[in-house]
Amino acid sequence: MDDRTTNLTGHVDPIRHDWTRADVRALFERPFPELLFQAQTLHRAYFDPCEVQISTLLSIKTGGCPEDCAYCPQSVHYDTGVAAEKLMSLDAVLKAARDAKASGASRFCMGAAWRSPKDRDLDKVCAMVEGVKALGLETCVTLGMLDGGQAQRLKSAGLDYYNHNLDTSPEFYGAIISTRTYEDRLDTLAHVRQAGIHVCCGGIVGMGESREDRIGMIATLASLPEHPESVPINMLVRVAGTPLMQIDALDAFEFVRTIAVARITMPASVVRLSAGREDMSEETQALCFLAGANSIFYGPKLLTTPNPAQDRDRALMDKLGLVPRL
Ligand code: SAM
Ligand code: DTB
Ligand code: SF4
């Protein structure tokens, strides 16, 4: 494993994989101006701070999921009004991918509400990956748990990224999901890595977890043998019918802190300001970009819930002088 990365200034910097909870806690406790300065300094060492990577999401298989993730509108365990659908056709997926490319996305992320894919379904997803890649887009899928062979098949189809979130700390995980374990998640991440696919892995905040849980989540991510290339930080979208619908909203500054700590601990990774932007002020989003976020989901829908309209996001990027990363 190569754990050194050349930054934009040409220096070879060590990327740390030994972040303790005490280290991460100390970052969370820094005065806000110091935390943001540190995050910005590292952001600039590895990236152009004006560039934002743009991904578009498509739910290729919606609803009816057997897992009981307490945040998720697609679980069969909760009555959220999301109907179970079949896997989309290849043609419909490619049409959505063409539209996403025309709108300026560089990556197309396909999500399926599965615990893990069946072999027959995986063949169909592999064909989607091949087709989307042929359009000149980067490909990402999130299909639930994978074994080593399944990861290899996706790699052979040309998959660039696999999204599989740790979601929270190991301690809080059981309060959110009972149908799988943290170890299951880590096992899939290892299979994805072993297959040579880039890892997209982050979590959700605002689920009623404590700061210690946010610390535990970031410390786990930043202590993986290789940092995920892409780290989505989601603000919980509170969906009616899910057990987390009544949870108090997380303070916006705590969300910005979480982004900053992800940036500092995983400086060469792309940090995505993911779900939750629909209810976030422009000012909070701007603070997230200042704290080191450099990616968004673009387009009016996430998987099943709303995301800001494209003209709103274009206007925000223009106001801030941000440009899509090509
Ligand atoms: N079923 C697969 C899995 O769980 O890995 C893939 C799809 S799942 C919907 C992808 C991710 O979406 C979850 O890991 C979670 O982090 C995020 N997510 C789901 N519902 C959310 C919500 N209400 N608010 C924020 N993020 C959410
Ligand atoms: C991720 O971290 N966030 C995205 C993507 N990976 C797959 C999903 C957000 C889903 C929000 C709830 C919904 O729209 O259903
Ligand atoms: Fe299923 Fe994924 Fe939703 Fe959990 S997060 S219920 S695994 S779709």
Amino acid at 16: R
The ligand with the least distance to the CA atom of 109 is 2
Helix, strand, coil percent values for the chain (each to nearest 5): 40, 15, 45
| pLDDT tens per residue, range 55-98 | 999 999 999 999 999 999 999 999 999 999 999 999 999 999 99
Residue-averaged pLDDT of the chain: 95
Q: Are 184 and 146 in contact (CB under 8 A)?
A: no
Spell out the residues 6+ positions from residue 89 whose beta carbon is closer than 8 angstroms to its own: none
Ligand 2 centroid from CA 226, angstroms: 23
* pLDDT the model gives residue 326: 79
CA atoms within 13 A on the CB side of 308: 21
CB-based pocket (< 6 A), ligand 2: 57, 73, 111, 142, 163, 165, 202, 232, 234, 237, 274-275, 302-305
Q: Are 220 and 170 in contact (CB under 8 A)?
A: yes
Which residues are catalytic, by number? 65, 69, 72, 109, 140, 200, 272
The residue whose CA is least distant from atom 11 of ligand 1 is 165
| pLDDT tens per residue, range 227-256 | 999 999 999 999 999 999 999 999 999 999
Q: Report how far Cα 174 is from the mean position of its chain's Cα atoms.
A: 20
The ligand with the least distance to the CA atom of 303 is 2
Judge whether residue 50 has pLDDT over 50.
Answer: yes
* pLDDT the model gives residue 12: 56
Which is the closest atom of ligand 2 to the Cα of 109? 7
The residue whose CA is least distant from atom 6 of ligand 3 is 75
Ligand 2 centroid from CA 275, angstroms: 6
Ligand 1 centroid from CA 163, angstroms: 10
Q: Which of 67, 71, 161 to mutate to test the pocket of ligand 1 (most atoms within 8 A of CB)?
A: 71
